Amino acid sequence: MAHSFGAFLVPQQHITYLQQHPGSVHDYLDGRVPDATDPSSLPTDWPTEEPESMGSWSINHRNTDLYHWILNGGPELVTGAGSIFQTWYEPDHQSVAIKLDAFNERFAFGPEQLPELAALVSKVDVPAVLKAFTAWCKSQGKDYEPDEYACMPFVDEFTMFGEGLQDAIRKGHGIVW
């Protein structure tokens, strides 16, 4: 399991290659040619340095389900683009996410999933976060009652992510996380 969330804009042909060559995603994200790979077999524009992240998040392995609740309005598992955070704690639940390695650390969405994801992300506002965060805290047995101030960092993260998704959609790219 990855320890922090990083999402990257990636051309579809790269996602296809990464899907066909499990495990090469780690080299891709490091900007390296995978071992024992002929560089001429790689897609054009294979990165030679680490790709730029879509932004910084406070997600970690202890709170991915909270982000899922915020994005989807509750704990129910989903099969569509709302499964982005769920892939970390329920990686074997059937969804449109593309597994890119055997360790359930890296996944992708092709360009066709991004409009659905962008629509979900655009609905994240303070009232939605407050409702989901409060319900999540109660489900965890926490005595914490979040307020609007505590919700703003989540809204800011989702706003940043939404901007990155719109950029990916404009470019016809997918994302890898």
Question: What are the structural domains of the chain?
Answer: 8-176 (3.40.1760)
Beta-bridge partners for 9: 175
Asked whether 110 and 174 are in contact (CB, 8 A), the reply is yes
CA angle 155, 157, 161 (to 5 degrees): 115
Q: What's the rounded Cα separation, in Å, for the pair 122 and 161?
A: 9
Over residues 14-29, mean pLDDT: 94
Question: What's the predicted TM-score (pTM) here?
Answer: 0.93
Across the range 85-95, mean pLDDT stands at 93
Of 37-46, 66-75, 77-86, least confident by mean pLDDT is 37-46
Read off the pLDDT band of 2 (50, 70, 90).
low
Beta carbons of 55 and 157 less than 8 angstroms apart: yes
Return the pLDDT at 1. Answer: 45
